[in-house]
A and B are shown apart, each in its own frame.
Chain A
Amino acid sequence: MERVSNLSYKNQRILIIFLFSLVPVVLLLTFSYLPVIKMFQYSFTSWDGFSKNMEYVGFDNYKTIFTRPEYFAVFKVSLYYFFATFVQMGLALYFATILSFNVRLKNWFKGILFFPTLLNGVAIGFIFLFFFKPEGTLNTLLELAGLGAWQQKWLLNPHLINISLAFASVWRYMGMNFIIFLGAISSIGSDIYEASEIDGANRWHQFRHIILPSIKRILQLNLILAVSGAIGVFEIPYVMTGGSNGSSTFVIQTVDVAFKYSKLGLASAMAVVLLGIVILVTILQRVLIKEEK
């Protein structure tokens, strides 16, 4: 940086724009765009990730994905997490709304509801492994509440496993939605509530006509994130079940196919399909949201 100040401001501008954007742009290209290009390229090969030469196989990998049901089953698992997101956002919205008005021990409740979001994903996996064990927390609580008949092998029953895992996921991410909604609701001026109260509005009216419209955009943003979130599920099922018993998610499967079975070409094709789905959903949502306006 010697003698920068001797340059004219015009030249300084050029220099600083170049220097300041150099590192971020190089990183962006290397770790965001290059992988996408490479991924498309690999998806047409039968590469194992090690050998020197790649063999191009055309659309074979794509055919495998769409014709063999075991590769498509993971998307069904994503649906559990996708629906769980709605439960999660509903709860978050409910708690954010009641905690933005006067409540005793408000800050305590806020802290407790938000805290799980800050926890380590692996720790959460273990916590819920403990929670769902046959002699674990949940079954003990049921016994205590006189609901002993409801006790289940939560993680061994193929019909319940994904619901149990999705519940852990709701527990983990609810606080995140909650705090975002809380921030959005608190930015509404108190005079609006006061004015509405004079007009005879009750809490439900206030929620319906003041809170909901003003957090609409964040609600929509969260919906978009819900799709990629549901597909990107990894830690909770990986730590808790390793993907067994029909709980394998897309990411677990891709990691297995790529790194355990060394089918890099196939794994890349799976990733391309996924990227296609995510982009499609995003565009669809944008279009629908625009039409609504």
Chain B
Amino acid sequence: MHTLKYSAASFFKYLTLVFGALAALIPIIVVFFASLKTNTEYANTGPLTLPENWLNFSNYTKAFVDGNMLLGFMNTIIIVLISIAGATLTGSMMAYILARFKFKGSKLLMSAFLLATLIPGVTTQVATFQIINSLDLFNTRWAPILMYLGTDIIAVYIFMQFLDSISESLDESAMLDGASYWTIYWRIILPLLSPAIVTVIIVKGVNIYNDFYTPFLYMPKSSLQVVSTALFKFKGPYGSQWEVICAAIMIAIIPTLIAFIALQKYIYNGFAQGSVK
């Protein structure tokens, strides 16, 4: 009786898991199928029908060239690199002084950052837009870069949490050797923070790559399009050519898939750390 009950529970467990996995995969897989179909084939087959020719990449070339996706990738890479480098530096510096020094106003500083997280970014966009505008940054790459830098508290948290595990006696022994605080930060703390830096790179990188709102609002100029806005442009003119849109979707997804497979272990850690705190 016990084993029967047990195996029924086990069956239910696997059933739900398979169902969950299918629910996660099917919407993507059908898009992949459609991206490999010719126009007539797409028109005459259902979404679940497999493509006739698995090597028909003509939609991909069309989407890539017509959508100017290369430009989108270039702009995305530039923005991601500068934002991440900046967020790593400013975040680790902030975390360093907050974790290592007790000074007047350190509590105030901390609560100022904390309070800012309570203000949902979307509510203040209209006013932020005016600030970006008055700084003459509208339609420049600096608009999103500054915003990705400015609103970031997650990085500071991750670094502070990690700094707690780095013994302060390391700092002290460096000071006995006459190292300045700058040297301690640059030569000792920053290299030791590298696991936390990987986390920050992953969490920020994914967020920036996927963000649509910020570039859409602040950089409408087509020469500044990023992957998200390039993809969005397919909406109007390709309404009847879903096989091309599907190829464009896959072009935007493939880098994520590759990064996910390559960095799986770090990604799990990164998200768990980045979101819990």
Contacts and interface: CB of A to CB of B under 8 A. Distances in A.
A254 B119 CA distance: 16
A109 B94 CA distance: 38
B228 to A, nearest CB: 5
Given A24-B94, A122-B232, A127 B124 contact: no
A109 B256 contact: no
Nearest to B272: A183
Interface of B: 9, 13-14, 16-17, 20-21, 23-28, 30-31, 34, 46-48, 90-91, 93-94, 96-97, 101, 103, 109, 112-113, 116, 118-131, 146-147, 149-151, 156, 175, 178-183, 185, 206, 209-213, 217, 227-229, 231-232, 234-235, 242, 245-246, 248-249, 252-253, 256-257, 259-260, 264, 267-268, 271-273, 275-276
Interface in A84-99: 91, 94-95, 98-99
Given A176-B275, A255-B217, A264 B48 contact: no
Interface of B is mostly: helix
Interface of A is mostly: helix
Contacts of B25: 112
Interface of A: 1, 4-5, 7, 9, 12-13, 16-17, 20-21, 23-25, 27-28, 30-36, 38-39, 42, 49, 91, 94-95, 98-99, 103-104, 108-123, 126-128, 130-131, 135-137, 140-141, 144, 171, 175-176, 179-180, 182-184, 203, 218, 221, 228, 231-232, 234-235, 239, 250-251, 254-255, 258-259, 264, 267-268, 271-272, 274-275, 278-279, 282
19 contacts: A5-B180, A24-B113, A25-B112, A35-B128, A108-B21, A109-B20, A112-B25, A120-B252, A126-B231, A131-B27, A131-B30, A135-B47, A140-B48, A141-B48, A175-B24, A180-B275, A255-B217, A267-B126, A279-B118
A260 to B, nearest CB: 12
A228 B28 CA distance: 28
A21 to B, nearest CB: 6
Which of A28, A32, A228, A272 neighbours the largest number of chain B CB atoms within 10 Å of its CB? A32
A79 B175 CA distance: 57
Which of A20, A175, A232, A254 neighbours the largest number of chain B CB atoms within 10 Å of its CB? A20
Contacts, number: 267
Given A116-B28, A119-B210, 9 more contacts: A4-B180, A113-B20, A114-B268, A121-B210, A135-B46, A137-B26, A180-B271, A264-B130, A275-B123
Given A35-B127, A137-B27, A254-B126, A122 B252 contact: yes
B277 to A, nearest CB: 9
B122 A234 contact: yes
B150 to A, nearest CB: 4
A31 B96 CA distance: 22
A97 B54 CA distance: 38
Contacts of B116: 28, 32-33
Nearest to A131: B27
A136 B210 CA distance: 25
A36 B127 contact: yes
Nearest to B271: A179
Contact of A5 (B26, B113, B146, B178): B178
A136 B128 contact: no
B228 A122 contact: yes
Contact of B123 (A95, A104, A239, A274): A274
B275 A31 contact: no
B181 A16 contact: yes
A120 B26 contact: no
Given A235-B213, A271-B124, A36 B119 contact: yes
Nearest first, the 9 A-B pairs at minimum CB distance are: A183-B272, A31-B150, A27-B150, A35-B124, A20-B93, A35-B127, A38-B127, A32-B116, A39-B127
Given A1-B182, A32-B151, A239-B235, A130 B93 contact: no
A109 B25 CA distance: 11
A27 B150 CA distance: 5
Nearest to B92: A20
Contacts of A171: 23-24, 27
B252 to A, nearest CB: 5
